[in-house]
Structure 1
Amino acid sequence: MAKNSKRTTKQLASTAAKFLSDANSSKIKKHLSGSVLAQSRTTKQTGKKMESELSAILKSSKYDKDTKMLAASLLSQSNSSR
């Protein structure tokens, strides 16, 4: 697997941590927040299967702007050669 040179910003990592601790956050928002935090200080990158799920989230009208923001961040850290 290729190394990821892109990193989650401290501001986004902080926001993701808040979503994780918020009892009112949706399951998908918490899932994406965990992924964002996992990529914040490592060379982990978004996998191919996750790319498809993230794309569907961005295209859907049922997700709020915060969920789409997390999805966009994760999608930007995917392998660009795919």
Structure 2
Amino acid sequence: MFANSKAIQMIELLLLLSILVYTVAYIGGALYPTVYAAMAAFLLGIAGIALSLWKQRYLLAIADFLLVVGVFAHIMFFWNL
């Protein structure tokens, strides 16, 4: 039980760190780190959503979903991709 909550905490921490790297890279104007951080945020977000739903932590799954959607909405609207 404790190992599963530790896994969720680690995925959430990595997700927040990848979003922080995305923000810093975007402000700095670096293209490749921004893209890699966005891809990491997507993959960690999917893993976080799946693990949160599996452990029945629905509010955490909703928060992960909103973080992932926020990153990609930012890419689509502000980068005009």
TM-score by length of structure 1 reads 0.40
Q: Structure with the greater relative contact order (CA < 8 A, sep ≥ 6): 1 or 2?
A: 1
The TM-score normalised by the length of structure 2 is 0.40
Please identify the structure whose Cα radius of gyration is greater. Answer: 2
